[in-house]
Copies of this chain bind each other. A is one copy, B any other.
Amino acid sequence: MAMTENRPQTRIQREKREVILEAALDVFSSHGFRGATIDQIADAAGMSKPNLLYYFKTKEAIFETLIHGLLDMWLDPLKAMNEDGDAIVELRSYIRRKIEMARDFPRESRLFANEILQGAPRIVAMLEGELKPLVDEKAKVLKSWMRAGKLKQADPYHLIFAIWATTQHYADFDIQVRTVLGPDRGGDGRFEDAARFLEQLFLAGLQPG
C-alpha cells in the first residue's frame, strides 16, 4: 500500500522518515527553508532524491512534519514552570533549562529562529494556537507570584521574551558569540559563563524587596 498521508506503518518506514527528519533538521536549520534543497537533505540522509520524495511528498511536508514534531520539545521548559513551586527556584530552573537547550539543541533553536525571522509564514497557526495560549497561562502564573510578593513587579510577557532572547541568543547567534569571545573564552565554557551571568541578572533584577 502507498503512504497513507502522515501515518507511517512499517518499522522501516518509521525509521527512514526519522533519518530524513534528522537530515532535514541539519539542512533547514543552517540554510533556512528557502536555502535548503531536497538534494542536500537527500544526501545528508544517504538516499536519492526520488527515494526521499517517496517518504515525503514535498519539501514543505518535510518541514511541516519536522517543526510540528519539535514544537512540544521546544515548549517543554516553559510548560514545566510550576505554579506551586517556589517562584525564584522555578525561574532559575527555567533559565537553566533554556540555556541547556541552546547548548544541546542549537539546530532546533535556529530552525525556529530562521522561520520567525522571515515572518513565520509556515508556522503562524502554531504561534497563535499553541504558543500564545501557553504564554498567556504562564504570564498569569508569573503575575500571581508577583502579587504574592515572591517576585518584583514587572511585565510578565516581556520577562518571558527577555529569557527567550538571552538564552536562544547563544544558539542563534553562536558564530557572533564565539567570534567576539575569541578562541580562549569562546570554548565550551561559554554556556557556563552565560548561565551564571543570566541567573545573576534575572534573579537580582527580580528578587523582591
A interface residues, Cβ below 8 angstroms from B: 30-32, 34-35, 110, 113-114, 116-120, 124, 127-128, 131-132, 135, 152, 154-155, 157-159, 161-162, 164-166, 168-170, 172-173, 175-177, 179-182, 185, 193-194, 196-198, 200-202, 204-206
Contacts and interface: CB of A to CB of B under 8 A. Distances in A.
A114 B193 CA distance: 25
A180 B35 contact: no
Q: How many copies does the complex hold?
A: 2
Contacts of A194: 158, 161
A47 to B, nearest CB: 24
Contacts of A166: 161-162, 165-166
Contacts of A157: 180-181, 185
A202 B204 contact: no
A91 to B, nearest CB: 12
Contacts of A154: 197, 200-201
The 7 closest A-B pairs by CB, nearest first: A205-B205, A165-B169, A34-B35, A158-B197, A165-B165, A204-B205, A201-B205
A62 to B, nearest CB: 17
Contacts of A206: 201, 204
A33 to B, nearest CB: 8
Contacts of A118: 30-32, 35, 114
B117 A198 contact: no
